[in-house]
Chains A and B, each alone.
Chain A
Amino acid sequence: DGGITQSPKYLFRKEGQNVTLSCEQNLNHDAMYWYRQDPGQGLRLIYYSQIVNDFQKGDIAEGYSVSREKKESFPLTVTSAQKNPTAFYLCASQEGSRGNQPQHFGDGTRLSIL
């Protein structure tokens, strides 16, 4: 079955540590996205990538980094510079670049501070 796989489902970070969230898709979609969701809030865009080897900052990119070396993979690193990383992180992908095309989402990763 085609879809988006996020791993791990739960992740714990120690102070000063970088952690990487995985996002893999087998939908052959060009564009991929990372969103952060805090309790009682909507999703906020962290980074997105429309093609391999290219990505753009979203609204809350500080303290995060990404790479897009392969079409199917878009990992997100939460660096120690992100002082409040506890949140639910969602990865999404989109086929093509027509604006009315929906984004397809993974099941998310919940990140907590130890």
Chain B
Amino acid sequence: AQTVTQSQPEMSVQEAETVTLSCTYDTSESDYYLFWYKQPPSRQMILVIRQEAYKQQNATENRFSVNFQKAAKSFSLKISDSQLGDAAMYFCAYRSALRGGADGLTFGKGTHLIIQP
């Protein structure tokens, strides 16, 4: 079974600064998908960014980018120019490609991101 580890229970960053959230995963598979989701206090889960394992290029969405290191099984999220609205729990998630693309996700335990004004 795959596991996802987020080693930082909590991170704090000054507004407008850059922060990196760590995620590592354990799998024997070569084809899979990785996601970062954000959960603000409203508890709604919101997709931040996604990455296909077969793509070497790191995904980018505006201020959010990832550093995907397949050999190291690492998938960190970088948030640039942090804003107060970025404060939330951030979850890293893994999906196997073995049984098609509609399997459930395996989530890490999350990192609580605090933005200091």
A residues contacting B by CB (< 8 A) are: 30-31, 33, 35, 40-45, 48, 50, 58-59, 88, 90, 92, 94, 96-103, 105, 107-108
Contact = CB atoms under 8 A, between A and B. Distances in A.
A97 B43 contact: no
B43 A88 contact: yes
Chain B interface extent, by class: 20 to 34
Interface in B85-111: 91, 93, 95, 97, 100-110
A43 B90 CA distance: 12
B107 A100 contact: no
Interface stretch (B11-19, B45-53, B64-72): B45-53
10 contacts: A35-B107, A40-B9, A42-B93, A42-B107, A48-B102, A50-B100, A96-B101, A99-B100, A101-B101, A102-B47
